């Protein structure tokens, strides 16, 4: 009988920021190309204040089973860096950094989005056809 030991998985692919909210950032990624010979059982997420040396574990040491995670309780007016690693029975693989610094700030007022759709009321109101719709959220 032959025994083939497993190795740690490769780094996750395409780590990215999906959403930024007040005091929270949602991350997403894809499974690594190589699982090290053992199925990936979860992911470790770490973050740090941009420019600082020490990384903090976001998921409190428990591997996240999904390929999406929201890091909560971040401080307003801080910028953060994030990284993600895959885990299997052999251990934790290398981290894949998200290639951007994320600023967490409280929203200021309402947002206005221009839909850039001309009004379609009547031919008599041609000047309105070049106007834009605005949506306040």
Confidence of residue 105 (pLDDT cuts 50, 70, 90): confident
> Does the pLDDT at position 123 exceed 70?
no
Higher-pLDDT residue of 58 and 76 is: 58
Average pLDDT rounded to a whole number, residues 24-53: 96
Where are the alpha helices (H) located in 1-137, listed in sequence order?
126-129
Distance CA 32, CA 126 (A): 55
User: For the whole model, what pTM was predicted?
Assistant: 0.74
Tokens representing 49 are 């204040």
Cα separation, 102 vs 58, in Å, equals 15
* Residue owning tokens 């200021």: 108
Domains along the chain with CATH numbers:
1-106 (2.60.40.10), 108-137 (no CATH)
Distant-in-sequence, close-in-space partners of 60: CB < 8 Å, separation ≥ 6: none
């Amino acid at each position: 009988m032959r025994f083939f030991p497993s190795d740690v998985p490769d780094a996750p692919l395409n780590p990215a920021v999906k959403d930024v909210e007040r005091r929270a950032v949602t991350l997403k990624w894809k499974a690594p190309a190589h699982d090290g010979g053992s199925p990936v059982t979860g992911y470790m997420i770490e973050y740090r204040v941009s420019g600082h040396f020490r990384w903090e574990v976001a998921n409190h040491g428990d591997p996240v089973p999904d390929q999406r995670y929201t890091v909560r309780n971040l401080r307003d007016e801080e910028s953060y860096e994030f990284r993600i690693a895959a885990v299997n029975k052999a251990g934790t693989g290398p981290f894949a950094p998200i290639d951007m610094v994320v600023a967490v700030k409280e929203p200021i007022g309402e947002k206005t989005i221009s839909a850039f759709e001309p009004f379609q009321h009547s031919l008599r109101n041609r000047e309105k056809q070049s106007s834009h719709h605005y949506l306040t959220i």
